[in-house]
Amino acid sequence: MTLLSDLRQTLGNENVLEEPLELYIYSKDASLMRGEATFVVFPQSAEHVAAVVQIAGRHGMPIVARGAGTGLTAGASPTEGGIVLATTALNSIEIDSDNRTAWVGAGVINLDLSKTAAPFGLHFAPDPSSQSACTIGGNVANNSGGAHTLSEGSTTSHVLGLEVVFADGEIVVLGGQAPDAPGLDVKGLVVGSEGTLGIVTRALVRLLPIEPDVRTLLLDFPTVEAAVTTVSEIIAAGMIPAALELMDQRMTIAVENWLHAGLPVDAAAVLLAEVVGEREGVDSQASQIGEIGRANGAGDVQIAKTEEHRALLWKGRKSAFGAMAQLAPDYYLHDAVVPRTKLVEIMRTIYEIADRYELTLLNVFHAGDGNLHPLIAFDASEPGVADRVHKAGEEIVAACLKVGGALSGEHGIGLEKRDLMRMAFTEIDLDAQARLKEVFDPTGLFNPRKVLPDGSRCFDFGGVRREVPEGAWI
């Protein structure tokens, strides 16, 4: 039988796409890179996923798992062709309020999980800016964070178990309700592996109680440095707010032009801070944050008086990427992480790099944990600009790594940052990671040529075996 007939017989004609326009739509994510899908399939169960994996293995066809396509590093782009496996129909939610957990299908939208858990007084903490569209499977694949993970940690801190289909088509459950399951932490390997080790079909996630009270503050500053210093001093004062988000003036103007929320567009930077807990505690922390801000030159300290005002402020922050469309048809960003103590230094460096390449740069980022999101607005149809953008991006990443940073805080490596991995890892490191990939996926079935650069291990496409120094531990 042909690959197409195998897929149709297993999934039904309605769950297999092959028309050119349909394939084109599913051949890229929210990054700048497009692939070329051979087929797109919509499995309705874990058993369907297992069957597709077995079919793909028989036909030597790679598989790329896809959630909502909101990824920013081409992680869900089928750059080697093959089957795009969309998890949309894997959308079950089973709330266990007694244990404050839920088994959640990989295709469940992040925000829908919190909405479903809300009647039980619970919510899911990781909240990427794309939470109204992104899926739990994608969150697990990239170990996504969000504005409210400063105090609670990213996705990996909230995953207790996973249901995964591995390369032989076996459905395996990793972890479970009990903490610190015995044996190797394979679940920890899969979280953040970007679909290169297997396909997650369900996740057992931890749910947290909805806090009884909240205070959301908006502070404006005459300089970016003053805002960044405020962030460091808030943490140094012993507070870990639920969120500390920073936007520079260009980003504030872009958001305000779209949202009309009354944001202070004359300020060089604005800081959105949020504290949660009991009323007395949040009032005290909000007051302390205001005092720290004023001591660093904050011109105004607003505290949201209503839930509607709070929601509007957060809508502005989470719409920042969409607001870029007013400036240019394309944007490019990295999500490198730096120590908070290096934020002032690295922000100056980032602006200098953008100016040197004559590029329009806007900044919005999770300031509390040093997770940067410098966005370069540009028009890809302009000759030579794309090359300048990528060179500037590489310099920004290199500068972040030089001060002790990391390549990615939440967006993953995918294809866009794959060839930058050698900036952060030695050949021995990359070989160790490639050996893990080889154990779980010996034929390179899952999401090929993502994350690890060519030559990390001999099985890679175009790779060569590299000798490991004697005595090195792998």
**Do 380 and 316 contact (CB within 8 A), yes or no?**
no
Distance CA 105, CA 84 (A): 18
Chain segment 370-389, per-residue pLDDT in tens:
999 999 999 999 999 999 99
pLDDT band at 471 (very low <50, low <70, confident <90, very high): very low
In angstroms, rounded to a whole number, what is the distance separating the alpha carbons of residues 87 and 176? 22
**Spatial separation of the C-alpha atoms in residues 151 and 54, rounded to whole Å:** 41
Residue 72 host element (H or E): none
> Rounded CA gap, 90 and 87, in Å?
5
Q: What is the mean pLDDT of residues 443-456?
A: 95
Q: What is the mean pLDDT of residues 333-361?
A: 95
CA 339 to chain CA centroid, Å, is: 19
Model pLDDT, residue 354:
97
- 3-state class of 61 per DSSP? coil
Beta bridge partners of 39: 83
Cα separations in angstroms, 324 against 238, 315, 321, 371, 381: 35, 14, 5, 19, 17
Distances (CA, A) of 413 to 90, 196, 421: 25, 11, 8
Separation of alpha carbons 39 and 24, rounded Å:
10
DSSP state of 213: E
Q: Which domains does the chain have, with CATH numbers?
A: 3-86 (3.30.43.10), 95-209 (3.30.465.10), 213-322 (3.30.70.2190), 327-419 (3.30.70.2740)
**pLDDT tens digits for 260-288?**
888 999 999 999 999 999 999 999 999 99
DSSP 3-state of 238: coil
Percent of the chain with pLDDT over 70: 96
Residues 6+ apart with CB under 8 A from 378: 328, 330, 331, 332, 359, 360, 385, 386, 389
**Mean pLDDT calculated for residue range 420-437:** 95
pLDDT digits (tens, 9 = 90+) for 119-132: 999 999 999 999 99
pLDDT average, residue stretch 400-408 = 97
Q: Which of 11-25, 56-70, 447-461 is predicted with the least confidence, judged by mean pLDDT?
A: 447-461
Task: Name the pLDDT band for 181 (thresholds 50, 70, 90).
Answer: confident
Provide the CA 92 distance to its chain's centre, in angstroms: 22
For residue 465, is pLDDT > 80? no
Q: Which residues are registered as beta bridge partners of 40?
A: 17, 84
Question: Of the candidates 453, 392, 447, 460, which has an alpha carbon nearest to the alpha carbon of residue 427?
Answer: 453
